[in-house]
Structure 1
């Protein structure tokens, strides 16, 4: 099958329009000493927007993004963008990495070279991976679905087609967090024959089996913590899951509104001690935001919450994922379930409590995550992961 290289390039007209919109922002008021208690802090956001308007160089970020090999293929009528970087060792293991919201394929930017060329970064060349990083449907440079129902289960089917039919891999590894965790689990449930193992950095309470009887004391405490978190921090998810279109008008029209909606989560969900730039530079934060703004995909991205809430079949108590699973929980992650909770659904073979990091593990602690992925998948490397596929042209 012919492969179609893709180059990241945003038309200049979009960048010019963005400059105008930033310049004419109508800022809301804020009470004294609000901090971040009411949401995104105005003082911080103004400083970020000033940088965005006067110093941020999108063309420089495009150049960095295009260091990787990008492609776009139509699968079941939907254009899917993905990175496909070949490993530099002998017999690299293919690994499919799936991002979440409010992230993008850019979440994996620091992680990719650590996995493709471990020897260059102080590792063992036999741990090399072929790395595939798709953009979720409705995110970034993937097409925006125009019909109902594009939930994590349907995305898992697209990923199976991408890996097996487009790229020619008969067996591969898969990993993800946030929405990517849900997609990875659904992929393992539907296509265990394709996977040598899965690795997750996030476990959603909704993806497991809360109706199971005989919960342990630790599991009951976990559910209480999740319920409290949902009451205090979960309003965004409730809105995404019920009225995403109402929200989309403002976020698709105002770059500052979009930035406020996304930045607040990067601060709240990362291991940054309340200072978001302890973990992410302004360029990193804005590059991720630009992947939503320049493609007008905030509406279609948050709509996946609605689709999951309204169309995703609930797992039955007897369903259990048979693919070996590794779990790495970073201490500032949204959800930190006990192991027995995960084992109700997953065949857990590695359980690691990480020393630091949060929800955006690949961006926050790429070295720690890379070593964790190498360690978990090392026993699953075998000749069955060798496949013969036609060479793919590199993006120039």
Structure 2
């Protein structure tokens, strides 16, 4: 018999909040190389503004209450306590949707998009498009973490969350949506648990990056491989340290809130569309959750696993379930359809978005929610 979920509410002790503020007050800032801001990483002037704001003006209790407004649960599964939001849809026949974040994200990414998916009528949509949303903290992330617990790679995350949806919650078949590692898990579900999937929708394509370009690439393919080469050279340093020496990095980011903020805030700066506005309090809520729970070390593990055990989708394997994709213009990697369809053989919707980047649910919740509704509509 599957274990029963128990209700959960997040409540960080006052002493932890006071400790965070004391540490922020003692921040030692580095100098900055004499070139343009952000040229070598997180800008010093930016951090000298963000740290005092986090310490003095940011209201954790307000963000905590926003999360606690959704029904939350924990359940023992695959050797850990898995945390998840389970928000009923408001419509004639809501479909179950597994909604997944990535790194350096958390369920705080979804505060704006969940109501748009569960109650589309309140946002000018059709109640027939409603979903019942299950939004887990990925195993090893956020509230699905406790010290010294087992580590999960992408394959294990997919198995665990498939069990959550079917064995614990009783959904024989379900939809999945994700970005970043949430897209990896969605894709792995489409490969390894195809019989359980209604379809998958992603806003990051999990294409192996060491495949050689075609002998005679199209203009679009040539552009992609050029961008990929530049990205691998200039933007993947964090992957190498997280994927080879995660324990060493974890000391600094677990002990220094300013260091943690600089490590994560850079990704929100570099990976988002400059035209998008990511609410600073939402970003700090996400960073604060990593700080209070102490989960940064465990969150590195998928990088280590990927570097030492191979790609989550085997080479030459295909994902054949119905698939939809949002191509946001400022996503970190944007393979063209001609390359994606070698892995995803059943692409039923491919949309080039006008605006947005890596944190799509935070940057463009209306646009992403609409795309998810439209993609799954004929699959209901």
Q: TM-score range by the shorter chain?
A: over 0.9
Q: Distance in 2 between matches of 1:328 and 1:282?
A: 24
Match of 1:336 among 334, 337, 340: 334
Which residue does the alignment assign to 1:352? 351
Name whichever of 365-374 and 304-313 sits farther off.
Answer: 304-313
Structure 1 SS opposite 2:144: coil
Q: Distance in 1 between matches of 2:299 and 2:42?
A: 20
- 1:309 Cα deviation after fit: 1.7
Structure 1 vs Structure 2 CA RMSD: 1.8
Q: Distance in 1 between matches of 2:184 and 2:141?
A: 16
Which residue does the alignment assign to 1:290? 288
- 1:204 Cα deviation after fit: 3.4
Structure 2 SS opposite 1:141: helix
Q: Distance in 2 between matches of 1:343 and 1:92?
A: 29
**C-alpha contact 2:341 2:347 (8 A) present in aligned 1:** yes
Q: Distance in 2 between matches of 1:51 and 1:213?
A: 49
- Spell out, residue by residue over 1:144-195, the C-alpha distance to the aligned partner (whole angstroms, 9 max, x if none): 5847762111100001100001110001100101111111111111111111
Name whichever of 237-246 and 167-176 sits farther off.
Answer: 237-246
Q: Distance in 1 between matches of 2:149 and 2:31?
A: 38
- 1:216 Cα deviation after fit: 3.5
- Spell out, residue by residue over 1:305-348, the C-alpha distance to the aligned partner (whole angstroms, 9 max, x if none): 10122124564454211100001110011011110111011121
Which residue does the alignment assign to 2:13? 11
**C-alpha contact 2:153 2:301 (8 A) present in aligned 1:** no
Match of 2:322 among 321, 324, 336: 324
Q: Distance in 1 between matches of 2:244 and 2:51?
A: 30
Which residue does the alignment assign to 1:75? 77
Name whichever of 258-267 and 22-31 sits farther off.
Answer: 22-31
1:237-386 matched pairs, under 5 angstroms:
237-272=239-274, 279-312=277-310, 315-346=313-344, 347-381=346-380
Give me the TM-score of the superposition, normalised by structure 2.
0.94
Which residue does the alignment assign to 1:216? 217
**C-alpha contact 2:155 2:312 (8 A) present in aligned 1:** no
Give me the TM-score of the superposition, normalised by structure 1.
0.91
In structure 2, stretches of 5+ residues that fail to align are: none
Bigger relative contact order, structure 1 or 2, given CA contacts below 8 A and separation 6+? 1
Q: Distance in 2 between matches of 1:101 and 1:336?
A: 18
- 1:102 Cα deviation after fit: 1.0
Match of 1:202 among 186, 201, 204: 204
Q: Distance in 2 between matches of 1:282 and 1:198?
A: 30
Q: Distance in 2 between matches of 1:235 and 1:78?
A: 30
Match of 2:103 among 101, 104, 112: 101
Distance 1:150 1:282, change over 3 A: same
- Spell out, residue by residue over 1:195-252, the C-alpha distance to the aligned partner (whole angstroms, 9 max, x if none): 110001001342x782686673343442232121110111111111111111111001
- 2:142 maps to 1:140: yes
